[in-house]
Structure formats: structure tokens, C-alpha cells
Structure 1
């Protein structure tokens, strides 16, 4: 299937879910997905071989996250997404709001730091470089809410309501760049909120919830704007092929409904994950306090026994 531009796409039959899920791989995303799964699997095996444990739930989460990217970019959803606004919006929502959450819950950076060998004293290997990047000024900037929230919003309004979207959709390279951008914006937006990997910006749980809900209403407003428009707003999808059997304005309305409705899905998923993380954090703190109290109690008992021993010595 030729992705070199909207005008060069061959006619497609009317969209159905069955057709959309047929295999039609984008080579870039296919290689990236296989590489991601391979590196993650190698790291897990490396840990297990040396007797360390790694959460099965994290492995499953990361694998499903990669599979959602593969589903979005390596099936005919990608072909139909080049000519139908509604299908494109499904791609956008999955790759920017579902895939990042699943990938982040897989803790790939933590796994890499545990799997990579240390370079030795005074040397910098891959592990040391990764650790330096995670705590760099660059990461502090791109994971700060003053950057992540405006970027999350701009990825909708500044892209779709300017000629930039049509320019990017005009070539395969531009389309790949746009999808990678959607994925990375989702990662940096959700990382400070639910990411379990180490990072420079890690606010309290209440602030994380506020960050989450600060960005989501703009998705709803964007969807409503598309649904209420009286004419097609994106040139790429203005003149759908007759073989698709769709009306451009109706398809745009469907795209708006998808953008509006989909914003609720990650909100619920992230909120559930946050509540579990918060509960786990409170449990860990309680256990630490109990251990500290036990140690203090032991010290008090030892001091009391020493005091009794000293009294006994005096009496003797």
C-alpha cells in the first residue's frame, strides 16, 4: 500500500472493522515494535538468569502497549487513516493516549538500568549515560507540567487547525514523524503522572491528578469543535474517494466524537493506576515506620536491660 500521499492512495472499499485489522505493515513501526519487544524480553531474561525477579504485570503491560502501536500502524487502519478522518483519529487517540500509558506501566527505563552492566569506576557506559539522561536538565524541562500540558494541547489545535497537518500527511516520512510525535507527547505527558521509572519531575499524588485533569478537557473541546463545524476543517480529508462511500463532513463529525469520547478512557485508566500506586506507597511507608519503631523499641529494651545490669552490678 502506497503511503506517499493522500492523492496517490489507491481506492479503498468502504471501511469495516474486519478490513481495518488486516495486515498492512508500515516498515518503520514494524521494526521499532519488534526491536522494543526484543530488547525488553532480553532484559527480563538477563535479570532472571542472575536470579533477580521482574514483575509479570509490567512485562504484560509493556507488551500490550507495543501491540497497540502495531495494531495502529501495521494494519489497514493505517491505510484507511490516510483517507478517513475518523480512522485517523482512532489511530491518534490510541497512539497518544493508550499506548504511552501501557508502555510507562511496563517501566522500561527501570528494567534497562537493572539489566545493563555498570561500566566500572570512572567510566561511562550505556547504563551511566541513560541514568545521566534521566536526571538531566533536558528531562527536567520536557517532563515539567509547564511544558507537557501546553504540548499536549498544541498537538491537537496547532496541528489540525493549521496547514501543518496537510503538509505532514502529504508524505510517508511526514506521516511517520507525526505519529512518532503523538507517541512521544503522550509519553512525556503521562510519565510524571503514572510513570514508575526514575525521573526528575515526580510530584505528589494529588498534584498528579490535577495534571491529568488539566489536559483532558481540551480533548473534549477539540472533539466538540470538529463535531459542530459546518464544513470540513482539514484539506486532507475534504474529498474522500467515492469508493469509501462516506461524506467528508459526517466523517469529520465521527472523528470529533472519537476525540471527545476517547479522552475519558485514559482518564479512568490513569486514575485507577494512580490510586493503586498511592495505596502501595502508603503501605510501603507504613512498613518503613513499623520497622523503624521496632528498631527504636529494641534500642529502648537494650538500654533498659543495660540499666538493670548496671544496678545489679552496683548492688553486687
Structure 2
């Protein structure tokens, strides 16, 4: 599986850079994509991945990288925008049709994205699922894929770097973001009296601090991006500048 993950990462990085090179894409976006992929690989392959199996504190660092920081970096690289710009018109239309499908509209609703992201974490840490994933390899990879995918979906819906068919208002997304932060913080604090299954109390408490404060930093970054994008959309003189 490690080989497949590394191969997929190389393919994703190579494809993105090739497409970006054809369009004069921003260097910062290219850097963001490469770093986001590398962080995800770091969590799944290598010393950190092995340490995460034995130590809850390491697991929490991995959670922040795989479920929050890596998705944020990938979202900031605007992969869907790049894809639509570089695909032939015929295939770009098919991708657009897929993005406009009812299924995509359902999962890209802010509340749905919130449930998949925060709800998945509550299910993982407040049930025996956390212990089970250390005994079943397929479940281990499935859960980590969900953490990554749900984190990407939620971040993409919140910041709206890539265009959405039915964008939601800044106010609506802000409310959902506040709820997400609250759920994340309540979950981390719950580790003090009720550690996840199979986790030592000392590790649970330190892991809770990593989740709480590390999550705050990344969530504040998401809020900053949301506010910056909103400000640019309403700032005085926008129309004159755009013209």
C-alpha cells in the first residue's frame, strides 16, 4: 500500500505541475499543491505513520496534517479551476456536468460537509472505531481516507476558492464554521475525562491539547481566507478596478 500511495502522490504532483506549466499558473498555488500532497504522504508513509499506530499524541499531529493542513493547502491551489482550464472543452463540460449533479450539490452543502467532517471525528473517537482501526488494515486506510477527503470537502466549501454551482453566503458559511470550531473544541476537551478507547489518560490529555490549539491555528487560517475573499468581493471600487 505504501508504494501505491507514493505512486499516486507522484502522479498527482506531476499532473498538476504539467497542467500548471501550460497555463502560467501561480507559483504559490503550485507550491501549495506540492506541499499539501507531501504532508498527506508523510502521515501515511514513513516514521510518523508508524509512530501514529503506537502513540496518541503522534496520531493527533497526523490528524492535524492529514485532515486540516493538507486539505487547506490543496484547496488553496485551486485544482478544479486548473483542471477546467486545461481540459479540452468536451471533457471540461463533462466535469462541469458532474460538479452540477445532485450528488455533488448534496455533499457540497455546508451542513453536509460539516457532518461528514466533524461528525466523522466524533464517531471515530467516541466509539470503539478508534481501537478497531489499529487491528484492521483496510479500516485503517479507509478511516484515514475519510479524514482527508472530508477535511478537503469541508475546507473547499468554506473558502470557495474553486467555483461552486450554488455558492452559499459568507454569513451562512461563517455560522457553519463557528459550529465546526465548537464541535472540534468540545471533542478535544472530552478527551480529558473520557479518553478514546485504548488510549492512556496522559497521552489523551496531551493529544487533546495538540488537537485543540493546533486546530485553532488552522481554523483561524481558514477564517482569514474566508474573510479576505469576502472583503475582495465587496470592497469599494471593485467594479472600477475589475474594469
Among 110, 116, 130, the alignment partner of 2:81 is 110
Say whether 1:254 aligns with 2:225: no
Structure 1: which 5+ runs fail to align?
Answer: 1-24, 48-52, 120-124, 238-247, 293-316
Q: 1:90 aligns with which of 52, 61, 65?
A: 61
Q: Does 1:29 align with 2:5?
A: yes
Contact 2:110 2:158 (8 Å CA) reproduced: no
Tell me the matched-pair count. 243
Q: How big is each residue's C-alpha offset from its partner over 1:91-116, in whole Å with a ceiling of 9 and x where there is no partner?
A: 11211111111101100010011011
What is the aligned partner in structure 1 of residue 106 from structure 2? Answer: 141
Match of 1:42 in 2: 18
Over the aligned positions, Cα root-mean-square deviation in angstroms equals 2.1
Q: Which has the higher helix share?
A: 2
Equivalent position of 1:81 in the other structure: 52
Larger radius of gyration between Structure 1 and Structure 2: 1
In 1: Cα distance, 2:17 partner to 2:163 partner? 20
User: Is the counterpart of residue 194 in structure 1 residue 159 in structure 2?
Assistant: yes
Q: Deviation per CA, 1:230-261, whole angstroms, max 9, x where unpaired?
A: xx5313x4xxxxxxxxxx22112111121221
For 1:233 and 1:291, the matched residues in 2 are separated by 52
- Structure 2 unaligned residues grouped into runs of 5+: none
CA shift in 2, pair 1:98/1:290, >3 Å: closer
Is the CA contact (8 Å cut-off) linking 2:232 and 2:238 kept in structure 1? no
TM-score w.r.t. the length of structure 2 is: 0.91
Aligned to 2:149: 184
TM-score where L is the length of structure 1: 0.71
